[in-house]
Each structure stands twice: as structure tokens, then as C-alpha cells.
Structure 1
Amino acid sequence: MLNHASTLSDENLFAATIILRMLEEMEGSTTGEDYHGHLLGIHAFVNIGDQYMIPGSLSAASFWVGLRQEIYIAVVTQQPVKVNLDHFVVDRSFEPADDYTWSNRAIVHLADVLNFCFGESPPSSSYWDALNEASEKCRYKSPAGPKENDIGDQFTERTDQGALMDLLKKTEADHARPTKAIQQQLTKAWGWMPDHDGSDG
């Protein structure tokens, strides 16, 4: 079925394959076994070529989700990313763009780094230099995103401030994302006492 061009050009089937792969991953996390069965389908859809991959289409969105799934598998299995990255929807430039484009550029760069680390050919220093240069360019040319503490002054009600502080503490406890510095900055911006925990509202 996957060797017919008409099947591979059906973006609904591509999206369905992505959803089935996600279900496969979720079941694998509970059973401990992931057979990667739908990855082959994703590869078939991605590798057919650019003629069916129009930016903004369901196929393009499916490509980006499939690439993220492939990156996850590459990290877990310490293997290269097997999805073809030479697509017309893949943008490796550093031209000004929206956040969506920049996030996809970062995903492609991550795939390139994984291919460098886990690729079959021995890594070369020139390829490493190119990846490092791309990383630096991305850091300096990408738009500055909002920082967590940029919104603190929007919370003027004490109960809202306490709720935000509780959320930051829960984020740090549950997801190991450091928020102590942000908590201190907000505490200072709001004029709270340093030992205030936000729980008395």
C-alpha cells in the first residue's frame, strides 16, 4: 500500500499515520515495548518528495510532528534521525521569520546534531564547526522570546500573584525547571517580603 504514489500523496493518511505512531509510543510507555511499526509509514510519507509537502498544509504539519517523533526515537535508541531532512519545507536559513519557523529551524538543527552524534560515518571536525556556527547564529539571530519574569508586572492582584508564585513552585517541583531566580525577581517587583510564600493570598 505504501508503494503507491496516490496513497503517499494523501495527507489524511499521513496525519493518521502520525496519530497511530503517537498511540504506539503511548502504549510502548505502559507495556515497555515499542515496535516502531508506524515509523516506517512516516518514513514512506516523508521520503516521497516535495511535490506533496506544501508549507502550511496538513502534510507539512504531519512532517513536523513526525520529525519530532523521530527525534525522540533517535535520542532513546542513540541512532541517527532517519527522516529525510532535504525537504522544501525545511528551512535552515537565519533570515527573520515568525516563531513557528524559528522553532522548526531549531528542531532541524537538533536532528542535524543527533545525526552528527549517532551517524554511521565518523564525525568530522568541519561538520562539527558548521553545526556550532549554526547554533551560534541561531542564538544571535533568532528573536528574543518572552521571559517568565517579563509578565510579572501584569499581576497586580495579590491573589493572582500568589497563584503565579504557586505555579512557579509547582513547576520547579514537578518538572525540575529552575524558577527560584524568577520567584526572587517577582517577589522584589511586587514588594513582597523575601520569605513570603504566596499562600496567604
Structure 2
Amino acid sequence: MQCLNDLVKEIKACHICEGLPLGPKPILQAGSANARLLITGQAPGTLAHNTGLTFNDPSGDRLRDWLQIDRDVFYNDQLIAIIPMGFCYPGRLEKGGDKPPRKECAPQWRDRLLQVLPNIRLTLLVGSYAQNYVLGKGQVTQRVKNFQQYLPNFFPLPHPSWRTLAWAKKNPYFEQEILGELRVLVKRVLRL
């Protein structure tokens, strides 16, 4: 079995999705086989691409707020691995927003990464792309509402973009009930 550091180096040198608007620049966080929490989102945005740091944008701020953990804990690769469905910024849609993650990425790398991260106790599935890849086709709202049926391995979450603010108003149970349970579970998994 390949070691984690060698696999991450191989991923960071990946060019299977040549032709992206900003070019290939794989971004992930996987620094220790001891990581206990895995965050799986869709793909880096332009700010993450520019800084080389995943969730380094307002969506990341919102996600950290949901989890009630600070940047130091969030970016502690001894505790948390962050493996998006696509490692490179996919570009913008004509109507606005980012394109979906490239389809080549997750099949190429995801299973290999999970094999070298044996201590993951919980995976946060952030948004529809992560949920559909891992759990099969379904609706984010129903999965979030029924999160308990995916435990102890997975916790489905909406994507923490600005669009989620309107979604949260329509689904007040998310902030009133689910976030509290999420925070307790994350702290337990991270032993904080």
C-alpha cells in the first residue's frame, strides 16, 4: 500500500484535467493518517485556487461557524482531512456560480486516499456532489433532515455558500437542531 505523503505528492502533480480555465492545481488537506474527521466538499473556488488552501473563502468561514471550530483546528491536518470531489477549480458557469467538480478526479483518487486514512471516524458530506457520489442520487434537504440514518459514518450537510442562507430560513430545523448535534459529534470525534 502506498504511503499518504507519496500519494499526496502524486495528486499534487496530477494533470488529468488539463485545459481548466486557471489550469490544474490540486488542492486538498491530507497530512496525517491519524486524521479522524474527513470533510468532503465539491471543488475549490477561485480564492482557494489562488491561496492553495481549501475552504479559504466565505463558504469556509460559514462551515467553520457551523462546526464551531477555529481556523487553527480546521487546518490542523493531524485532525482533519479535506478531500473534495474535484481537487482543481473547475471554472465558472455562464449563468454564475462554479462548474461541477470534474468527473475524472474522485474515481482516480478518492478510494486510494481513503485507504491511507484508516482513522477517519466521521465524514462530512458537504453539498450535493459529495452526497450523490458517496450515497447515490438523492436530495440534500431530505438527507440533511434525516442525517441520523447516515451515522455513524456520514453526516450530510448543505453546501455552505451564500445560497444556503435562504435555504436555512426555509428549513429552520437546520440551525435550531441539527447544528447542535453536528457540533457535539465533531468535538467528540476530534476529542476537543
Does TM-score exceed 0.5, indicating one fold? no
Q: TM-score when scaled to structure 1?
A: 0.30
The answer to which structure has the higher helix fraction is 1
The answer to which structure has the higher strand fraction is 2
Greater relative contact order: 1 or 2 (C-alpha under 8 angstroms, separation 6 or more)? 2
